[in-house]
Amino acid sequence: MSSLDERLPLLWPSIALVWVIAVAASLAVALALPPQEALDSLALVLGGSVILTFMAQLATRTPAGYLRRAILSIVGATIAVGVTAVILLPSALAANG
């Protein structure tokens, strides 16, 4: 008898899609805007990642494992945006004097 976790499909492409877009959007914001504005804009990147997560997971049309896939997508996007914010923080603080 297998556990519930083994029977739930993960559908990694729908999870990785959100991670890749979060990394790309974070890098684009970090490179295109001054540090303080980039930090402010990273909240929009994370919000967009959450919306994209729900869209990607609903597009799979697989109800089994939905919550697990959504959590993995959002946690990965949060880590990507968080790492970018930590990298930008010193230069944003230095720019404010």
- Tens of pLDDT, residue by residue over 42-64, are 999 999 999 999 999 999 998 98
Round to whole Å and give the CA distance between 4 and 94: 50
Let me know if residue 93 belongs to a domain. no
pLDDT at 6 > cutoff 90: no
Let me know if residue 44 belongs to a domain. yes
Neighbours of 42 (CB within 10 A): 22
Let me know if residue 95 belongs to a domain. no
Structure tokens at 90: 């010193």
Q: Which domain holds residue 50?
A: 12-86
What is the tally of structural domains in the chain?
Answer: 1
pLDDT at 97 > cutoff 60: yes
